[in-house]
């Protein structure tokens, strides 16, 4: 199934709405040390995938009020907080098509900007009036999941013994949990029963894992411009990804030799060599299948969701399946 043009233009409209709100967010001018980098971050060209999903799900469940808008902004801010801090930890240079905060300013500025973006996310969640306590609880449970995921990610840097299961557990925390929250919050706002909320959360875990595996693939197979961040840092940090773990699993000897030989090349050359290797040994297609499997698992979760609310989430899953950036 390809993506319907009307669907795409609806998504672009929501993205633009989110961008507009973020760009004109009523932050004060001072202290400039705090607000200049925050405004800069929110002006970056993010995909706004999480608030888009939250709003689409809200529409599916008939929630379209101020609570939904605040929740959508809150998940985007939570996401941006983690990016700002992760960029320090990974020493990344580029994010959303511009220099990272710690490259444009410094580490201290970047830590504090991230902290305050996170606080702003909490303040938005604090404005929610419907089922506020459970939503607040879930929001912070997920924030902890994301920290846990990032901790496993850091712990596993250069760990060439990490299994695919361990990797999937890590990305479920780091990426899946927040995407799960984006579909769970609208269900909580419309007071769905706990079985529906739980299955939606699982749906989010599954499509979130698919999304992260796609990211791993795109990091190597797309150019830097469309990803909006610098290529190669994951390789430099010896990060384990769906591709490298699959390579180690299915062609261990060849992969080990390849890693030994690749070390002295430039980043550009390394990426070309990786592309050839992953193509040649069917690792690309293996990772792609794994991503597709999780999208399908997500669709399976939807059988527990009232039929009238399903269509929007199926369309979004299809949109993810076809994304190229």
Residue pair 306/298 in contact (Cβ under 8 Å)? The answer is: no
Of the residues 7, 10, 17, 34, which one makes contact with its own copies according to CB under 8 A: 34
Closer CB to its own copies, 102 or 214, in the complex: 102
Say how many CA atoms lie within 13 Å of 324 toward its Cβ.
4
DSSP-derived letter for residue 192 is -
Binding of its own copies at residue 112 (CB under 8 A)?
yes
**Alpha helices (H) in 97-163, listed in sequence order:** 101-104, 107-125, 132-155
Closer CB to its own copies, 155 or 223, in the complex: 155
Binding of its own copies at residue 105 (CB under 8 A)?
no
Give the separation between CA 300 and CA 174, rounded to whole angstroms. Answer: 22
- How many of the other CB atoms lie within 10 Å of CB of 292? 14
Please give the full DSSP string across 5-25, using - where no structure is assigned: HHHHHHHHHHHHHHHHHHHT-
> In the bound complex, what is the minimum distance in angstroms from residue 160's beta carbon to its own copies?
17
Residue pair 54/185 in contact (Cβ under 8 Å)? The answer is: yes
Per-residue binding string, its own copies, 121-140, x by CB under 8 A, is -xx--xx----xx--xx--x
Q: Which of residues 12-31 bind its own copies (CB under 8 A)?
A: 31
Closer CB to its own copies, 157 or 286, in the complex: 157
Closer CB to its own copies, 52 or 73, in the complex: 73
Binding of its own copies at residue 120 (CB under 8 A)?
yes
Question: Contact residues for its own copies (CB under 8 A)?
Answer: 31-34, 85, 88-89, 107-109, 111-112, 114-116, 118-120, 122-123, 126-127, 132-133, 136-137, 140-141, 143-144, 147-148, 150-152, 154-155
């Amino acid at each position: 199934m390809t993506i319907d043009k009307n669907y795409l233009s609806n998504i672009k409209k929501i993205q633009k709405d989110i961008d507009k709100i973020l760009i004109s967010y009523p932050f004060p001018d001072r202290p400039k040390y705090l607000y200049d980098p925050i405004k800069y971050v929110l002006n970056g060209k993010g995909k706004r995938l999480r608030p888009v999903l939250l709003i689409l799900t809200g529409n599916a469940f008939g929630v379209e009020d101020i609570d939904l808008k605040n929740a959508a902004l809150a998940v985007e801010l939570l996401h941006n907080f983690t990016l700002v801090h992760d960029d320090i930890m990974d020493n990344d240079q580029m994010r959303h098509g511009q220099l990272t905060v710690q490259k444009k300013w410094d580490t201290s500025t970047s830590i504090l900007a991230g902290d305050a973006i996170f606080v702003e996310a909490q303040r938005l969640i604090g404005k929610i009036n419907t089922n506020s306590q459970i939503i607040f609880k879930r929001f912070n449970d997920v924030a902890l999941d994301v920290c846990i995921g990032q901790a496993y990610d850091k712990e596993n840097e250069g760990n060439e013994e990490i299994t695919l299961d361990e990797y999937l557990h890590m990305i479920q925390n780091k990426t899946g949990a927040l995407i799960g929250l984006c579909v769970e919050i609208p269900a909580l706002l419309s007071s769905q029963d706990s079985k529906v909320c739980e299955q939606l959360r699982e749906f989010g875990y599954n499509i979130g894992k698919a999304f992260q595996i796609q990211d791993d693939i795109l990091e190597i197979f797309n150019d830097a411009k469309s990803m909006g961040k610098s290529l190669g840092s994951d390789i430099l940090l010896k990060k384990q990804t769906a591709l490298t773990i699959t390579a180690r699993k299915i062609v261990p000897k060849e992969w080990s030799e390849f890693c030994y030989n690749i070390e002295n090349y430039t980043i550009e050359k390394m990426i070309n060599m990786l592309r050839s290797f992953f193509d040649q040994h069917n690792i690309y297609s293996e990772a792609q299948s794994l991503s597709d499997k999780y999208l399908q698992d997500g669709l399976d979760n939807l059988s527990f969701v009232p039929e009238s609310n399903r269509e929007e989430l199926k369309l979004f899953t299809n949109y993810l399946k076809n994304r190229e950036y």
